[in-house]
Structure formats: structure tokens, C-alpha cells
A = this chain, B = another copy of it.
Amino acid sequence: MKRLALLTSGGDAPGMNAAIRAIVLASHYFDVQPLGYRHGFNGLLEQEYRHLDTEDVYNIIQRGGTILKSARCQPFTTQEGAQLAARNLNEAKVDGLIIIGGDGSFRGAEHLSRYWQGNIIGLPGTIDNDINGTDATIGYYTAIDTALESIDKVRDTADAFERIFLIEVMGRHAGFIGLSAGVCSGAEQVLLPELYPDGLPDPQELADHIRRAQKIRGKCSYIMVMSENIWPGGATDLANELQTRTGIECRPVILGHVQRGGSPVSLDRMLASKLGAYAVEAMIAGKSGIMIGERNQQLVEVPLQQSWNKSKLLDPYLVKIQRQVFDLVKNGNNY
């Protein structure tokens, strides 16, 4: 192992820079040359890379985004694309490739592995936390805190006006951010895809719950945290629907892309630093086709396919707590 390459792909996540730094530092520590490809898989197609020295990663551990840039890349998904990438990697004398990204990026990794002989290792980098085989993904912790800070602020207004707010958080098709942000903000209710496996929540039921709760509790703020994609038209449409059905003013707040950025919190920096360093060790040990994750405080190697073909479960105890809050609210508790 003389030379490894790395890239970031898919949606950016806070901590990606910490992972890049860790990979570069560990590479230099173990006398391996690290090459940074820019713009995700596009960089492989356009041979856009440069050597990364320790100075290049100085003072980036605290930065959001990714110094290597990211991108989606359609052409790479073809056979020709992967073959071109393989030729370029060989031309650059790369022995192994570390890909930091989400499950789409990992499928890309698998696609590449059919045409390239080098070793491939994935690091889970996405705010959505929807990667199986690791307790958390790089960026998830920061995203929760970002969502939470925003909801705490909305609570001030909700409280001053005793008003109902629907707050839409990210998560693609997983409720991790929604559940954590909901429990942590003391939300009166959460709408998560995992809680409605058979389809949409019934708007009349939601409206009845709100109306009954507000009637018994007296004037009160009421915050509902909902995942993106759970309701057609999102928080805006559901707020309108509920306002019509309850006759109570309902306001939507869509947190949106704010959740992707920002300086990573300590847990994301730690996770990224550990996964990055370990990925270099695994690469040197000749491992391939795996994702490095952390489970139960142990660094683990997970076959890449496992990362997406089994879906990760929400913490059942958090779900239980949130249900208890919901029931308390229903019974008129103005906690």
C-alpha cells in the first residue's frame, strides 16, 4: 500500500472534513501517500485530484462542508463511467480508495469494484443516520443539535403566542433526526415514517388530537416535529390541512438545508477521526469491500452491502418515551 485516494460523495455532512483530516494524518503516519479527488465520483472521471499534505488539513477539523467538494454524478453509474474511473485510478497508481458518503455513494463503490481491482472502503457520512452497521453516521450528531437549536427558538415564539407549529426536519426516509429532535425539544408529537409503516397518518385523527389536547390543557404551545417526505406538500400543506380541520392557527417551519452545514459537534469530530484513522489501518491490512463503522463503542468492519440492504431501527425506548409524552398531552397535561 503506497498510495490511497479519498473522496466525499452525496449530500455533505458536518465532520466530513474531520474524516478527511484523519485519513490524511494517518496516511502520513503510516507512510502512505494520500490523494484527494474532488467533486465526488466526478473527480474520478475527470482525474481531478491532488496530493494532500498534513498542512492541507490544518485547521479544518472544525469546518462544515468538505474541502474536497461533493457532487452527484450520473455518468459514473454507467459501465463506461466505472471503467474510466478504474483506468484513471490505475493511472494515478492508486492502491485503495476511501469513499465518505451515504448509501448511494456505497452503491457507487460497489459498482466501481466490478471494474477496478483496488481496495475500496466506505465511511458513513450523512446527516440522515440511515446506514446500517454503525450506531451513528458522521454528521448525524451535528444535525440533531442544529435542528434542536432551531426548535428551541421556535418554542420561544410558540410559547409566547401559545401557538401550534409544525416543524419539518430532514432524514430522507428515516426518522432518526425527527425522533431525536422531537424527544430533545419536548415536542408534543412526532410524525416519523417508521411510526406509519402503512401510509400517511390520518389528518382527522391528528386534528382531533390537537383540538382535544388544546381544549383540556388551555392555551398552550404545541410543537409537532415531522420528517420530510411523510406528507405530500410537507409541513406547509399539513399545517393548512390541520388549520382547516381544527380552526386553530398552525404554522409550518421547514428547517431545510441549514441542517447540513455548520461546525461539527464533538461527537461527529470524534467519530470521524476514529473512522478515518481506522480506515487507513484497514486499507493497509488489505481489507476491501467494507464500511468502517462504530457499534457499541467498538470500531467494526461491515460488508458494504449490509450497509443498505437492512434498515436500521429507531431506538425503541425513545419511541416509547415520546408516546408517553403524547399520551400525557392527550390527557390534558401541560407539561
- Give the B-binding residues of A (Cβ under 8 A): 8, 11-12, 14, 16, 21-22, 24-26, 28-29, 54-55, 57-59, 61-66, 69-71, 135, 141, 144-146, 148, 150, 152-157, 159-162, 165, 180-181, 183-186, 251-263, 265-267, 269-270, 273-274, 277-278, 296-297, 299, 315, 317-318, 320-321, 324-325, 327-328, 333-335
* B-chain residues with CB within 8 Å of residue A263 when the two chains form the complex: 152
> A86 to chain B: closest CB distance in Å?
25
B-side contacts of A255, CB under 8 Å: 258
> Cα distance A273–B325 when bound, in Å?
11
A–B complex contacts, Cβ < 8 Å, 20 sampled:
A12-B157, A21-B186, A28-B328, A29-B328, A54-B334, A55-B335, A58-B334, A59-B159, A59-B186, A64-B156, A71-B162, A148-B265, A148-B266, A152-B261, A156-B261, A157-B260, A157-B261, A181-B266, A183-B270, A183-B273
Q: Do A160 and B12 have beta carbons less than 8 Å apart?
A: yes
Q: Is the interface of A mostly helix, strand, loop or mixed?
A: helix
- In the bound complex, do residue A333 and residue B65 qualify as a contact, i.e. CB atoms below 8 Å apart? no
Contact in complex: A261, B155 (CB < 8 Å): yes
Query: Cα distance A152–B296 when bound, in Å?
Result: 29
What's the minimum C-beta distance from A111 to chain B, rounded to whole angstroms?
A: 21
From A14, A28, A152, residue with most partner B Cβ within 10 Å: A152
Q: Which residue in B12, B145, B297 is a CB contact (below 8 Å) of A156?
A: B12
Interfacial chain B residues near A317, Cβ < 8 Å: 274, 277-278, 299
